């Protein structure tokens, strides 16, 4: 039986939130990954990378797996009624409902995280709790069929875990080898716990700059 | 001064090879990431994900950084004369010439790796040596201005290293925090050295299946 994984794409999303999981999941036997959106055609991610929407949300109302990426324009995301409504409805019949990064806020806006432990990008922990979730600073949080992943790059870890749920651990292990996922982060600053204060400050400045809301930060060393 | 990073996109490429580095590099101050290709419009990655080419190769003949992704259809890639010729020419004036995964074979076909240490996807180590390179089983290999990264997911590590070269370590550290790159691979099978024989065998079967050249492998456990 084919498992259909639907990944919604939307304007100003974070591309890696979707493409990391895609690169893991399309390799699974008898799994179809489909990119859905409000309209067919090209959407532009946060800094314009054009990604193609292959089917409309209406055309894929009941996928087996819903995997929701995020972005930093979170106010727009949670106010996107067609997207949030689609996620809410798809969740009713899904086998797994998954988010990466601030995709968790869309799950929250759809009412899916009420009373659940969940994770998201470290910068949106409080927003997540506004939706009745309990933020847990973990890479992946699984609550029944709801799986939430941490920020951006966590989509790869999350998808490997999901791959094991769908097709068994050995297949997931083989995919980890095929994508040579043996990470060697050059620095020890990937989490809020590990990053020193000056790097956290610089990250805030860089984030503002990336959103067009501040000057280019000095490198500070 | 703006640094232009050109990432060529081509049919049947591996999407994450390009999107991982993009997600790191666009966040750098005064850096423009541009997706180039033979024609403007949409190309399809290995399993169809449509990615948009924004400028033709001819329009970006001399970027500061050339970053070449790979794919598993390596015979087609190295026979792609416009692509290989563009890489060869762009390398003449680049500040950095970078590859991810089997993008190293394109560098090889362009004559760039002759006599150099280099890395690539573990499955193409011997092919790399056919181009006069010396394969080194490392995540990232830097030889002067030529930086090669290992398979698929290694593009993220490679891009963070490049980010530090371009804009300093602190900015790179801040980006690592922004993309929450604190990886927790669920298994210990991400490299050829770590994966046990049965997972290597399964990976080979899965790769054949993914290329339409074999049956869906049994999960084997």
Render pLDDT for A144-198 as a digit per residue (tens, 0 to 9). 999 999 999 999 999 999 999 999 999 999 999 999 999 999 999 999 999 999 9
Instruction: Give yes or no: A101 in active site.
Output: yes
Q: What does pLDDT average to over chain B?
A: 97
3-state SS assignment for residue A78: helix
- Cβ separation of A180 and B154 shorter than 8 Å? yes
- Cβ separation of A202 and B27 shorter than 8 Å? no
**ipTM exceeds 0.90, yes or no:** yes
Q: How far is B40 from chain A (nearest CA, A)?
A: 11
Cα distances (Å, whole numbers) of residue A35 to A134, B51, B93, B172: 29, 12, 38, 31
Residues of chain B above pLDDT 90, percent: 97
Q: Which residues of chain B have pLDDT under 50?
A: 221
pTM equals 0.97
What's the token pair of residue A189? 């600053």
pLDDT of residue B218: 84
For testing contact with chain A, the best of B182, B192, B197, B219 (most A CBs within 10 A)? B182
Q: Are A152 and B180 in contact (CB under 8 A)?
A: yes
Q: Which of B51, B122, B220 is opposite residue A50, by nearest beta carbon?
A: B51
pLDDT of residue B221: 46
pLDDT of residue A221: 46
**Active-site residue (options: B18, B66, B83, B101):** B101
* Distance in angstroms between the alpha carbons of the first and the last residue of chain A: 55
What residue in A sits closest to B138 (Cα-Cα)? A184
Q: How far is A43 from chain B (nearest CA, A)?
A: 10
What residue in A sits closest to B2 (Cα-Cα)? A216
Q: Which residues of chain A have pLDDT under 50?
A: 221
Of residues B135, B138, B91, the one with CA closest to residue B111: B91
């Amino acid at each position: 039986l084919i498992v259909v994984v639907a990944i919604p794409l939307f304007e100003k999303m974070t591309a890696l939130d979707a493409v990391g999981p895609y690169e893991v999941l399309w390799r699974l036997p008898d799994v179809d990954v489909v990119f859905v959106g409000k309209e067919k055609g090209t959407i532009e991610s946060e800094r314009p990378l054009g990604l193609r929407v292959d089917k409309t949300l209406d055309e894929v109302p009941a996928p087996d797996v819903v995997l929701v990426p995020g972005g930093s324009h979170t106010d727009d995301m949670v106010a996107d009624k067609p997207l949030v409504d689609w996620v809410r409805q798809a969740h009713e019949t899904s086998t797994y409902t998954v988010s990466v990064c601030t995709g968790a806020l869309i799950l929250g806006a759809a009412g899916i995280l009420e009373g659940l432990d969940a994770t998201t990008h470290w910068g949106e922990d409080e927003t997540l709790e506004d939706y009745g979730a309990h933020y847990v600073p973990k890479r992946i949080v699984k609550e029944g069929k709801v799986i939430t992943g941490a920020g951006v790059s966590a989509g790869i870890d999350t998808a490997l875990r999901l791959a094991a749920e769908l097709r068994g651990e050995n297949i997931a292990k083989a995919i980890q080898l095929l994508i040579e996922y043996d990470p060697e982060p050059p620095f020890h600053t990937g989490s809020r716990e590990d990053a020193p204060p000056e790097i956290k400050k610089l990250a805030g400045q860089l984030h503002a700059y990336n959103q067009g809301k501040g000057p280019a930060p000095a490198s500070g060393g």
